[in-house]
Amino acid sequence: MSNSIKQTYFTKFKTQIDHQIIPAKFNLMANKPHELCLIAADELQHYLSKQTDWVHNFGLSHQGEGLIIGKMFGVLVVQNQENEIGYLSAFSGKLAGSNNHLKFVPPVFDLLAKDGFLNNGMQELSRLNQEIRDLETVNQKEHHTLIKDLKLNRRNHSVGLQNKIFDHYHFLNQAGEEKSLTEIFKEEGHKNPPAGAGECAAPKLLQYAFQHKMKPTALAEFWWGQSPKSDFWKHGHFYACCKEKCEPIFKHMLNKTDVQKG
């Protein structure tokens, strides 16, 4: 990746900021965002409202096409190696069908890579599903054992594929110490990480900051777009990072960082 592309992830504030409000300790939003995060989020939201780099239907106008999918976005205020204060941006999951967009930090692990193991693994799952459907359509008793074996193979393949995904997510802390998603959740007494763990905006932001020797200053996340079935998520509102997926990851990623919850 070229330096010019890397530079696009670090965004300098367009708004004049008061350096006296920079917190001495890393501010992780618990109740309300830090003032610097409000400024960064306002700038990011302006970009989301005006950009033409990609198309994603947030359900905010009648012009969108396809499935309406609101998104959680995050901003991380950082100090880079040149002692400049700016911010990084990220989204949870994928956006406009991709994990990679120039303004947003990359995923910790790119599940959508065309040459990755996930693509081959999903093709094998599709093959097993089709074979099972074909045999069930015939509906002959002599296929009962074969169908049972195929379903067991499908289950084992699916579990193995999910575990392989978890093992490919590796997270850093500020000291450069690395742990896999599987290790992190086992240390917290979980049998397996929940689906989607590691794909939230906040871990992506911290990972990129630590990889590039940036000092995290304040972090906040907000919802953009229509709410899903639950009315909990509201357009433009800020939310604390989720406990189920992110809290165990933060315990590792922030254990070498002085944290103050705001």
Integer Cα distance of 10 and 15 in angstroms:
15
Cβ count near 1 (within 10 Å): 7
- Strand 71-79 and strand 26-28: the pairing is unpaired
Q: Is there a single domain that holds both residue 257 and residue 132?
A: no
Q: Is there a single domain that holds both residue 68 and residue 148?
A: no
Q: Is there a single domain that holds both residue 153 and residue 180?
A: no
Encode pLDDT of 133-170 as tens digits. Answer: 988 888 677 788 888 989 999 999 888 888 888 888 99
pLDDT-derived band at 63 (thresholds 50, 70, 90) equals low
Q: Is there a single domain that holds both residue 210 and residue 133?
A: no
- Which of 164, 181, 199 is a domain's end point? 164
Q: Which of 95, 93, 113, 111 is nearest to 103 (CA)?
A: 95
With a cut of 60, say whether residue 4 has pLDDT above it. no
Integer Cα distance of 171 and 204 in angstroms:
9
Q: Is there a single domain that holds both residue 142 and residue 177?
A: no
Residue 112 is classified by DSSP as: T
Q: Among the ranges 56-70, 81-95, 152-166, 181-195, which has the highest mean pLDDT value?
A: 81-95
**Which domain does 48 fall in, by range?**
3-108+169-261
Find the mean pLDDT for residues 170-177. Answer: 94
Integer Cα distance of 127 and 149 in angstroms:
14
Find the mean pLDDT for residues 90-96. Answer: 95
SS3 content of the chain, % helix, strand, coil (to 5): 40, 20, 45
Q: Is there a single domain that holds both residue 178 and residue 77?
A: yes
Q: Is there a single domain that holds both residue 101 and residue 8?
A: yes
**What is the amino acid identity at position 150?**
L
Q: Is there a single domain that holds both residue 126 and residue 223?
A: no
Q: Which residues pair with 73 in a beta bridge?
A: 91, 222
Find the mean pLDDT for residues 62-88. Answer: 90
What are the C-alpha distances in Å from 63 to residues 54, 56, 81, 139? 14, 11, 42, 47
Q: Is there a single domain that holds both residue 48 and residue 124?
A: no
Q: Is there a single domain that holds both residue 82 and residue 8?
A: yes
**What is the amino acid identity at position 46?**
H
Integer Cα distance of 176 and 207 in angstroms:
10
Number of domains in the chain: 2
Q: Is there a single domain that holds both residue 19 and residue 102?
A: yes
**CA torsion angle for 162, 168, 169, 171 (degrees, to 10)?**
150
CA 238 to the chain's CA centroid: 16
Q: Is there a single domain that holds both residue 65 and residue 179?
A: yes
Q: Which two tokens stand for residue 77?
A: 């205020």
pLDDT-derived band at 207 (thresholds 50, 70, 90) equals very high
